[in-house]
Amino acid sequence: MKIKTHLWDGLILFLVAAFLILPLALTFFYSVFTEWMDILPTGFTLSFYAGIFSDGAFINSLLRSIVISIVPVVICTIAILLVLYVITLYVPKLEKYIEILCNIPYAIQGVILAAGIISLYSGKPGFLSNRIFLLVGAYCIIILPYVFRGLKNMIGALNVRCVIEAAQVLGCSKLHAFFTIVIPQMKRGIISTMMLAFTMIFADFVVVNMIAGSAFRTAGIYLYQTMSKSGQTSSAIIVILFITTLLISTLTLMIQNKAIKSTKGRKA
Amino acid sequence: MAYIEFRGICKSYDGVNQVLKSIDLDVEKGELVTLLGPSGCGKSTLLRSLAGLEDISSGQIILDGEDITNTPVQKRGIGMVFQQYSLFQNMNVEDNIAFGLKIAKMDKNEIDKKVKAAIEMVDLYGKEKSYPSQLSGGQQQRVAIARAIVMEPKVLLLDEPLSAIDAKLRRELQEKIKRVQKELKITTIFVTHDQDEAMIMSDKIHLMNQGVIEQSGKPVQLYTHPVSKFAAEFIGHYNILTPVDLTAFFPEKRYPGNYYAIRPETFMLSKEPIEDPAYLTFDAKVVDFISRGNVLRYTLQCKDVVFTSEVLFRSFALFEPGATVHVGIEEHNLLRLND
């Protein structure tokens, strides 16, 4: 009976793993063969990868993608942390209004948001009509609910008011206590939330295409433009983007584990 | 002039309901006083007002001759231990204790010296590098105490610090707190809703009820001479009886006032008639009994009046339910209450 159960468990796991890995594996295989006309592909080559990496435009677009994904995440996280500081310690009554406000972007489609932003700000003087500025702003709005929810849940799990009061009695100011005691305790949650928001933006094509288009060529745009030229090259780009995300996730996980160890991971 | 003076302290959160109603209270230097009362009576609010964590609606707080009513919490020189420990989870024991000293920008060698002394005082030697999550509840609370006393505060405030700790450990910590308090001669205000704890810990108890101080005094004084029905019910397991109830016991006597309190242990129970003229006597029926460790608590009934009596558990139950017992009480143990 037990062996039968294990078999079922193994089968389910295998199917799920196959469902997740198969598309990526096929994409990878397609990117390292020149032809795939029969059951098995023929003509193994790494030339598509070599071509991509020799194209400076791709490296630049990849770096742009990374930068444009990090900047809004950092801005949004700092802003939400400050908002949480204020509503937790000074005006708890505002919490429900902030929550409603932060949940609004859930209901807005990326296309509608991008179209709305363009129609509102295009032609406006100065930095307001700057496409990169608009893009950063749009991304901040898109990730706002996720960042707010992630950080709010984390701060809710801590007895912030009491910890801050304990620090105040010891001579510390509220703000200092928030940044030296509360935020370090939230490190794990902050990193997870930032990673989630980062991957959302990194994978975006719709918003960046509508707001910035060719003016700010990210990896997504580069991929889109390559798709019409070569299927294998675009498959290679997808694999590279996947590996980039994987590397960033691994790095985040390592930082997170370090954070766990430095707080309460050192169990006796 | 007392070391700490609360003068006409009023506090209201909504402008309508008064949490503290014109409290006047003095605490002498070096005393360990307890604010005792049920949940919501205002004891923690009064303590937090002294710490500066709660603004008062009106009144004046004087500490060591200085009016601190409007002094920021950071500058009051007060140490506080909270019910939830409130340790900084991202810091180890040493860093938690040193936190306040570092904020005060004290010399590093001096900090090390003071932290070491505080750790020794609360018996946490060997746990310096442990994180709060690696410590038991009792150890965490000891860190919290060390963190407060290392600052050498003018007053140490303890806001129900032992309520989340199991009974055995609580007794140990009660003794520890008392010992540290006596050693340092630090003026301490302890808040609790546990009357036994208040009795053990305090030099003086202030019993609070609905935002006012109901009765103040030494523990024994409060226990033996409650002034009100509330004090009698809260401090001991007093039997609160009306003059009509007493007439059921002693039909020939008349008692003025509204309420009388009788401590359960002042009743003498006997199988034989009580001949001693010092005792007022009557008969009662045993309804039930329970064992509370070393004490047997009997529920007795005389006519319609049900009351309790406690005797030391020496061998076994002296009386079985349904038995009739002779009950005696010295008249001075019938305490007339004010309300």
Q: What total number of domains does chain B contain?
A: 2
Please tell me the distance in Å from A64's CA to the nearest CA on chain B.
35
- pLDDT for position B315: 65
* Whether residue B221 is found in the same domain as residue B304: no
Residue of A nearest to B89 (CA): A263
Q: Measure CB to CB from residue B84 to each of A162, A167, A267 and give the nearest one.
A: A162
Measured between beta carbons, which residues in chain A are less than 8 angstroms from residue B140?
A: none
Inspect the interface and report whether the beta carbons of A172 and B99 lie closer than 8 Å.
yes
Q: Which residues of chain A have a pLDDT value below 70?
A: 1-2, 259-268
B315 alpha-carbon distance from chain centroid: 32
Measured between beta carbons, which residues in chain A are less than 8 angstroms from residue B161?
A: none
**What are the distances in angstroms from CA B160 to CA A13, B37, B192?**
51, 11, 5
Interface of A with B in 51-110 (CB under 8 A): none
Interface of A with B in 111-130 (CB under 8 A): none
Q: Measure CB to CB from residue B89 to each of A167, A169, A264 and give the nearest one.
A: A264
Choose, out of A89, A170, A187, the residue to mutate when testing the contact with B (most B CBs < 10 Å): A170
pLDDT for B9-29, tens place per residue?
A: 999 988 888 999 999 999 999
CB B178 within 8 A of CB B122: no
* Whether residue B261 is found in the same domain as residue B214: no
* Whether residue B204 is found in the same domain as residue B304: no
Q: What's the full length of chain B, in residues?
A: 339
Inspect the interface and report whether the beta carbons of A162 and B86 lie closer than 8 Å.
yes
Tokens of B5: 């003076």
Measured between beta carbons, which residues in chain A are less than 8 angstroms from residue B132?
A: 264
> Considering only CA atoms, which of A59, A112, A3, A1 is closest in space to residue A237?
A59
Inspect the interface and report whether the beta carbons of B134 and A166 lie closer than 8 Å.
no
Q: Measure CB to CB from residue B104 to each of A165, A168, A171 and give the nearest one.
A: A171
Residue of A nearest to B75 (CA): A171
| Residue that finishes a domain, picked among B218, B234, B250 | B234
> Considering only CA atoms, which of B115, B194, B110 is closest in space to residue B149?
B115
Measured between beta carbons, which residues in chain B are less than 8 angstroms from residue A176?
A: 103
Q: What is the mean pLDDT of residues B317-331?
A: 88
The CATH label, of 3.40.50.150, 3.40.50.1000, 1.10.3720.10, 3.40.50.12280, for the domain at A56-263 is: 1.10.3720.10
Measured between beta carbons, which residues in chain B are less than 8 angstroms from residue A172?
A: 74, 99-100, 103
> What residues contact B292, with CB distance under 8 A and at least 6 apart?
B310
Return the exposure string of A147-168: e unless at least 16 CB atoms fall within 10 Å of the residue's CB, then b: bbbbbbebbeebebeebbbbbb
pLDDT for B128-166, tens place per residue?
A: 999 999 998 889 999 999 999 999 999 999 999 888 788
* Whether residue B263 is found in the same domain as residue B284: yes
Residue B238 has what DSSP assignment? P
Please tell me the distance in Å from A254's CA to the nearest CA on chain B.
18
CA distance A87 to A98: 9
* Whether residue B226 is found in the same domain as residue B283: no
Inspect the interface and report whether the beta carbons of A163 and B79 lie closer than 8 Å.
no
- pLDDT for position A268: 37
Measured between beta carbons, which residues in chain B are less than 8 angstroms from residue A268?
A: 130, 134
Strands B66-67 and B58-63: antiparallel
C-alpha gyration radius of chain B: 24
Range of the domain at B288: 238-336
Inspect the interface and report whether the beta carbons of A263 and B104 lie closer than 8 Å.
no
* Whether residue B246 is found in the same domain as residue B189: no
Using the structure block, give the residue that is written with the tokens 């030296």: A180
CATH of the domain at B99: 3.40.50.300
Strands B204-209 and B32-36: parallel
> What residues contact A250, with CB distance under 8 A and at least 6 apart?
none
* Amino acid making up residue A248: I
> Considering only CA atoms, which of B17, B62, B60 is closest in space to residue B40?
B17
| Residue that finishes a domain, picked among B214, B234, B254 | B234
CA distance A254 to B149: 38
Please tell me the distance in Å from A184's CA to the nearest CA on chain B.
6
Residue of A nearest to B100 (CA): A170
* Whether residue B220 is found in the same domain as residue B275: no
| Residue that finishes a domain, picked among B167, B202, B234 | B234
CB B68 within 8 A of CB B55: no
Task: Please report, to the nearest 10 degrees, the dihedral formed by the alpha carbons of residues A69, A74, A80, A83 taken in order.
Answer: -150
* Amino acid making up residue B93: V
Mean residue pLDDT across chain B: 91
- pLDDT for position A259: 67
CB B111 within 8 A of CB B101: yes
- pLDDT for position B165: 81
Tokens of A170: 């010891």
Extents of the domains making up chain A? 1-45, 56-263
* Whether residue B312 is found in the same domain as residue B332: yes
* Whether residue B65 is found in the same domain as residue B213: yes
Residue of B nearest to A268 (CA): B134
The SS3 of residue A36 is coil
Q: Measure CB to CB from residue A172 to each of B103, B132, B134 and give the nearest one.
A: B103
Contact status of A268 with chain B (Cβ, < 8 Å): yes
CA distance B10 to B56: 6
Classify the phi-psi angles of B269: left when phi > 0, otherwise alpha if psi is within -120 to 50, otherwise beta.
Answer: beta
CATH of the domain at B295: 2.40.50.100
pLDDT for B81-118, tens place per residue?
A: 998 888 999 899 999 999 999 999 999 999 999 999 99
Q: Indicate if the pLDDT at residue B169 is higher than 50.
A: yes
- pLDDT for position A267: 42
DSSP class per residue in B273-298: PP--TTEEEEEEEEEEEEEETTEEEE
Please tell me the distance in Å from B240's CA to the nearest CA on chain A.
40
* Whether residue B187 is found in the same domain as residue B283: no
Measured between beta carbons, which residues in chain A are less than 8 angstroms from residue B147?
A: 170
Counting beta carbons within 10 angstroms of the beta carbon of residue B306, is it exposed (0 to 12), middle (13 to 18) or buried (19 or more)?
A: middle
Q: Where are the beta strands (DSSP E) in B170-211?
A: 187-192, 204-209
* Whether residue B140 is found in the same domain as residue B267: no
Query: How many beta-carbon pairs below 8 A join chains A and B?
Result: 73
Contact status of A169 with chain B (Cβ, < 8 Å): yes
* Whether residue B27 is found in the same domain as residue B137: yes
Q: Measure CB to CB from residue B151 to each of A170, A184, A263 and give the nearest one.
A: A170
